[in-house]
Amino acid sequence: MEKVRGFEVAKGFEDKEINLPIRKTKYSAGYDIEAAEDIVIPSFKKGMAPTLVKTGLKAYMADDEYLMLCNRSSNPKKKGLILANSVGIIDKDYYENPDNDGHIMFAFYNIKEEDITIKKGEAIGQAIFHKYFIVDDDAAEGTRIGGFGSTNK
């Protein structure tokens, strides 16, 4: 079978019992993503960096696709968790990059007054595959050489 799009366990997580994402209903757009390990997300303080929550996953896709990472709709109200970048974009060439093998992480801020603990296997977000288009005079020729946040390097 030819691989078109899907999820795999990222290097370093092979023995961590990572669950591959699934859709819960027939018409769900998103695949539910779980945390790869227990982590505490501290209450937000001005100037702090977001907490990166590991998933232990990487994703492969067609040349004209990307993977969109979205927050769970219940996270802001129930847990005070918001995505630092509002929505995450995983490009095709992030897969198996030399820095981190394409390991997908969610960048969260906690807007509650107390620290929040996420447990391994707990659903933290969802991922949706999308097609994209390029303009007529597109001339992109760059090659990704890094992992998380490396597009402009």
Task: Convert the pLDDT of each residue in 27-67 to its tens digit.
Answer: 999 999 999 999 999 999 999 999 999 999 999 999 999 99
From edge to edge, which strands make up the β-sheet containing 81-83?
A: 51-54, 105-110, 81-83
User: Which option is the CATH number for 10-131: 1.10.1670.40, 3.50.20.10, 2.70.40.10, 2.60.40.10?
Assistant: 2.70.40.10
pLDDT at 141: 84
pLDDT at 146: 62
Mean pLDDT of 75-100: 96
Decide: pTM greater than 0.85: yes
Percent of the chain with pLDDT over 90: 90
pLDDT higher than 90, residue 142: no
Integer Cα distance of 27 and 71 in angstroms: 18
